[in-house]
């Protein structure tokens, strides 16, 4: 994650973080009420209304003041926005690597290469059935966005206490997993 994204999530610049957080939440909440097509169309109409109004305002202002400043968006119209072949290749390579890694891991889990890992995955999928029954995907996405903008700040302020409790939980989980591994025949405990 880039430094700009970290600064955004840690609220280093409150105005910028607030603007991004509120606009993303507004978009997600509007998606809960309207379809993606409607929201996209409304956003495009709002952007077009703003740019057309600004263009007309500047044209009227130039006519009244008898100046010749030209097109108000000239700098943006002349800006190069094409992706280079290197950029596309770099992102395609990253997507390919991630896809291959995911497929290998899923193959390993579904074909039970390691029984404990497959059982953990099964428990996770079983828990996700309950999460899916309680929340739809958009609600979960809203919760993720809110968590992304709040949890880093909370962790930064209360790091010592959180680390202490996470350590206690990790010790308990490792103890339970060790007991389960000892009871299941054919499994060996991984060295930590």
Q: What is the DSSP string of 39-58?
A: HHHHHHHHHHHHHHHHHHHH
Q: Is the whole-model pTM more than 0.85? A: no
Alpha-helical regions (H) of the chain: 3-9, 14-33, 36-65, 74-77, 85-110, 115-134, 137-157, 159-183
Alpha-carbon distance 106 to 117, whole Å?
A: 11
Work out the pLDDT band at 192, boundaries 50, 70, 90: very low
Residue 186 has pLDDT above 70, yes or no: no
Work out the pLDDT band at 178, boundaries 50, 70, 90: confident
Alpha-carbon distance 192 to 180, whole Å?
A: 16
């Amino acid at each position: 994650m880039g430094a700009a994204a970290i600064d955004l999530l840690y609220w280093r610049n409150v105005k910028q973080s607030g603007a991004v957080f509120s606009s993303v939440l507004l978009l997600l909440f509007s998606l809960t009420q309207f379809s993606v097509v409607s929201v996209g169309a409304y956003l495009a109409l709002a952007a077009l209304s703003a740019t057309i109004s600004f263009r007309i305002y500047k044209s009227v202002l130039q006519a009244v003041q008898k100046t010749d400043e030209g097109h108000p968006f000239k700098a943006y119209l002349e800006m190069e926005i094409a992706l280079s072949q290197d950029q596309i290749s770099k992102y395609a390579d990253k997507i390919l690597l991630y896809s291959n890694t995911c497929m290998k891991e899923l193959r390993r889990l579904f074909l039970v290469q390691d029984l404990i890992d497959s059982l953990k995955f099964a428990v996770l999928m079983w828990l996700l059935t309950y999460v899916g029954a309680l929340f739809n995907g958009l609600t979960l996405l809203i919760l993720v966005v809110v968590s992304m903008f709040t949890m880093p700040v909370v962790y930064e302020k209360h790091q010592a206490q959180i680390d202490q409790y996470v350590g206690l939980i990790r010790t308990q989980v490792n103890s339970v997993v060790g007991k389960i591994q000892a009871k299941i025949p054919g499994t060996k405990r991984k060295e930590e």
